[in-house]
Copies of this chain bind each other. A is one copy, B any other.
Amino acid sequence: MTRWKLTIEYDGTPFVGWQRQENGLSVQQVLEDAVKNLSGDENRIQAAGRTDAGVHARGQVAHVDISKPRSAKDMRDGLNFHLRPHPVAILSAEEVPADFSARASAIEREYLYIINNRRASLALEQHRAWHVPFRLDETLMQDTAQILVGTHDFTSFRATECQAKSPVKTLDELSVTREGDHIYIKARARSFLHHQIRNLVGTLSLVGHARWTKQDVIDALEAKDRAKGGPTAPPDGLYFMRVTY
């Protein structure tokens, strides 16, 4: 048995999310089918992050065990051959020790959220960004985001169905920048709660639109009540960028 670390890009649009589900095609299923077709092994593939339906990845990481030895190049190219025509690509494959876990060994995860902040509807970026047609003030958003960085109880910003044991997480970075019509929100942490980034982005959008003040966000954070947090931004703008081990 060889344990393989795979770095994966995918367009989340056609999938029910990372995880296998009864009601549709998942990224996990497409990858496990490719592994089986390439190697004959019916092994489970485990990811660093279980992205929701519609969420994309530029650097998701997963591990899987394969019985027969093969080169890293053959592993990558062979899986990519069997992944066609699904919008899932193996960017790299590398052999790792048997105790490597894509999920448990991760020390930091990075996500990027893209807002297209123009009046005209989206054409080339349909499903690739959140379209916010009214002007957002990215300076207010960036300023407010800084109060969320650090260790907090994020109960107000996690999905009610979130299964994490503790709502306390440490946000290493939450930065908001603008380039032309695009607003980029970068988030880094060891781990995130379910919907945490989308709920933070939805909340920051209220600040950018001057409907909430910085104090409203402080109050929401301190309330420790999901009903006091802002709305959930759509999955379309969210990209899982990289994992540090």
Contact = CB atoms under 8 A, between A and B. Distances in A.
Interface of A: 9-11, 56, 58, 76-77, 80, 83-84, 87-92, 118-124, 126, 128
The 5 closest A-B pairs by CB, nearest first: A89-B123, A9-B123, A87-B123, A89-B120, A80-B121
15 contacts: A9-B124, A11-B123, A11-B124, A58-B124, A76-B119, A76-B120, A77-B119, A80-B120, A87-B122, A87-B124, A88-B123, A89-B121, A89-B123, A92-B120, A124-B128
A181 B120 CA distance: 30
A90 B119 CA distance: 10
Contacts of A119: 76-77
- In the assembly, how many copies of this chain are there? 2
Given A9-B120, A76-B120, A89-B122, 16 more contacts: A10-B124, A11-B124, A56-B124, A76-B119, A77-B119, A80-B120, A80-B121, A84-B121, A87-B122, A87-B123, A87-B124, A88-B123, A89-B120, A89-B121, A89-B123, A91-B120
Contacts of A121: 80, 83-84, 89
A35 B181 CA distance: 26
A60 to B, nearest CB: 10
B11 A87 contact: no
Contact of A120 (B90, B123, B124, B126): B90
Contacts of A91: 118, 120
Interface centre among A84, A90, A121, A122 (most CB of B within 10 A): A121
A88 B87 CA distance: 22
A56 B125 CA distance: 12
A166 to B, nearest CB: 33
A105 to B, nearest CB: 23
Contacts of A87: 122-124, 126
Contacts of A89: 120-123
A91 B125 CA distance: 13
A198 to B, nearest CB: 19
A121 B89 CA distance: 6
A162 B56 CA distance: 41
A49 to B, nearest CB: 16
